[in-house]
């Protein structure tokens, strides 16, 4: 989850010291802008501010990736097996195979996908990158600093595992 600074104002109007959570073990890929600033560099209004959870950005990225032609599924083998069970129970996890890091003004995403054979893998990965970047920028208003796409499998329609099943993504 994103770590944000919190400033409080005392009764006399001066600001109390900012508190900050412990630094993450790995360096962040996204910036952590000062509290109250917007992606366009202006400061936030005094009426409040909007915080968008990483789960929301993950869901948007997952939906955008699934809409790309040539993407069969998202997630690794184990995640897809659990996803099939969730799908059977009408509880599809749209964040499966998606990990995001969200800052105040920027976001970064890592996606694991399965490509349909014989789709050109590089083209599908580039289209996923573009779709996810566009969706996060347009719907959330964050600058996307990177979208990493990990292709971990190729789905064959006649491989015996899902031979008669329709692809989950068109």
Q: How far is CA 73 from CA 13, 35, 111, 161, in A?
A: 53, 37, 11, 14
Q: Is residue 104 part of a domain?
A: yes
Q: Is residue 30 part of a domain?
A: no
Region 6-23: what's the mean pLDDT?
A: 45
Q: Is residue 38 part of a domain?
A: no
Residue 17 binned pLDDT confidence (cut-offs 50, 70, 90): very low
The residue to which tokens 């508190």 are assigned: 19
- Domain of residue 75: give its range: 54-155
How far apart CA 131 and CA 109 sit, in angstroms, is 12
Number of separate domains in the chain: 1
**pLDDT over 70 (residue 10):** no
Q: Is residue 136 part of a domain?
A: yes
CATH number of the domain where residue 73 is located: 3.30.70.1350
How far apart CA 133 and CA 85 sit, in angstroms, is 29
């Amino acid at each position: 989850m994103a770590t944000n600074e919190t400033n409080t104002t005392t009764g006399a109007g001066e600001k109390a010291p900012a508190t900050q959570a412990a630094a993450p073990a790995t360096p962040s890929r996204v910036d952590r802008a000062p509290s109250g600033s917007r992606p366009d560099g202006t400061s936030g209004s005094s009426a409040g501010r909007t915080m968008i959870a990483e789960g929301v950005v993950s869901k948007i990225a997952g939906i955008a990736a699934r809409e790309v032609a040539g993407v069969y599924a998202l997630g690794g083998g184990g995640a897809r097996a659990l996803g099939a069970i969730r799908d059977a129970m009408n509880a599809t996890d749209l964040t499966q195979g998606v990990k995001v890091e969200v800052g105040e003004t920027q976001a970064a995403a890592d996606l694991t996908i399965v490509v349909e054979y014989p789709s050109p893998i590089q083209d599908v990965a580039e289209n996923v990158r573009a779709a996810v970047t566009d969706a996060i920028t347009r719907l959330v208003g964050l600058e996307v600093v990177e979208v990493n796409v990990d292709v971990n499998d190729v789905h064959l329609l006649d491989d015996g595992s899902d031979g008669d099943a329709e692809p989950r993504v068109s």
